[in-house]
Amino acid sequence: MSSVLYDVPGPKARRVSLIGSVVGSLLILGLLAWIVSTLAQQGIFEGRRWAIFTRADVWALLGNGIGATLSAAAVAAVIAFPLGLLLCLMRISDLAAIRIPTRIVLEFLRGMPVVLMMFFVLLVFGTNQFIAVVAGLVLYNAAVFAEIIRAGIQSLPKGQREAGLTIGLTSFQSRMIIELPQAVRRMMPSLVAQLVVLLKDTSLGYIVAYGELLRAVQVMADFLGTQFLFPVFFVAAAIYIAINICVSRIAVWIERRGSKKAAGGVAKAEPEPIEAEVA
């Protein structure tokens, strides 16, 4: 809580708040109980449905799914970042002939659904699913990385570039030696947050039949029978969420570390990379 919207509660307010908390908790618990009982009526909690998790082949399939998800995300991230840097440099080039076409391309890439790009690459270039997924992720995320880094460069004090040019650096040298390193560092939290988006978007591979985690769930449900859909789905969803929360935590950690340095020991309470975090 960084802003105090209410007074430090006195005894009466604390009592009201406590009652509110208890009632709220009861409501939420009631809702959860309802969900659990509905699930139980469907036989979700029968042991045999969960017994499949003792089978090695189930975990092998899930493992394959996780591997496919992570490898697509990793390859896409490794390609998208340098490409984003390049696009950013082109976007802020002094030459209008480079700047304007790049801007149009970036608007185009950012305005399209990622799944459409995957589908496009898959059908038009006839690639396999892995390449289609990676290509879709790279095209979109490179454009977003470019915009994030550009925002970083524009947030630098004007003097940085002026000083560089004054000591005789060329425009390109000033970008590479002075501005980009600062911009990338400044925007690190947003860049890591965008990695969460990238990781989440690998699940769109499900739609183009790439064998990622969710597809593995579907395959298992088809093979083992739909009664195992829920257990497998819930485990897969938990894995996805756990991985993403870990990466999000890293973004928060970087933000705290960065702002501690910047503000001389005073950390900002929460990161706010809103624009970047939306996919």
Partner 1 sequence: MDVIIENLPLYWEGFLRTLFLSAVSGVIALVLGTVLAAARVSPVAALRGFSMTYVEILRNTPLTIAFFFAAIVLPRLGVKFEQFEVAAIIALSAYTAAFIAEAVRSGVNSVPVGQAEAARSIGMKFGQVLSLIILPQALRTVIPPLINILIALVKNSSVAGAFFVLELFGYGRQLANANGDAVLAVLLGVAFFYLLITVPLGILASTVERKVAIAR
Could you identify the residue written with the tokens 């590479």?
Answer: 176
Q: Which of 33, 36, 39, 51 binds partner 1 (CB under 8 A)?
A: 39
> Is the CB of 51 or the CB of 269 nearer to partner 1?
269
Q: How many CA atoms lie within 13 A of 96 on its CB side?
A: 0
Question: Cα(182)–Cα(197) distance, rounded to whole angstroms?
Answer: 23
Q: x/- contact string, 5-34, with partner 1 (CB under 8 A)?
A: xxx-x---x---x--xxxxxx--x------
Alpha helices in the chain (DSSP H): 11-41, 47-51, 56-91, 96-110, 114-124, 129-155, 158-166, 171-173, 180-186, 188-201, 213-224, 229-262, 274-277
Give me the least distance between CB of 51 and partner 1, in Å please: 19
Query: Counting contacts by CB under 8 A, is residue 116 touching partner 1?
Result: yes
C-alpha dihedral over 142, 146, 149, 154, to 10 degrees? -170
Q: Rounded to the nearest whole angstrom, what is the least distance from the CB of residue 30 to partner 1 in the complex?
A: 13
Residue 55 phi/psi, 5° resolution? Answer: -85, 135
Minimal distance, residue 154 CB to partner 1, in Å: 12
- DSSP, collapsed to helix, strand or coil, labels residue 5 as coil
Among the listed residues 15, 55, 110, 261, the single contact to partner 1 using CB under 8 A: 110
Does residue 113 belong to the site contacting partner 1 (CB under 8 A)?
yes
200 to 239: interface string for partner 1, x by CB under 8 A: xxxxx-xx------x--x--------x--xx--x--xx--
Q: How far apart are CA 71 and CA 83, in angstroms?
A: 18
Beta-carbon neighbour count of residue 4 at 10 Å?
7
Which residues are at the interface with partner 1 (CB under 8 A)?
1-7, 9, 13, 17, 20-25, 28, 38-39, 41-42, 107-108, 110-116, 119-120, 123-124, 196, 200-204, 206-207, 214, 217, 226, 229-230, 233, 236-237, 240-241, 244-245, 248, 269-270, 272, 274-275, 277-279
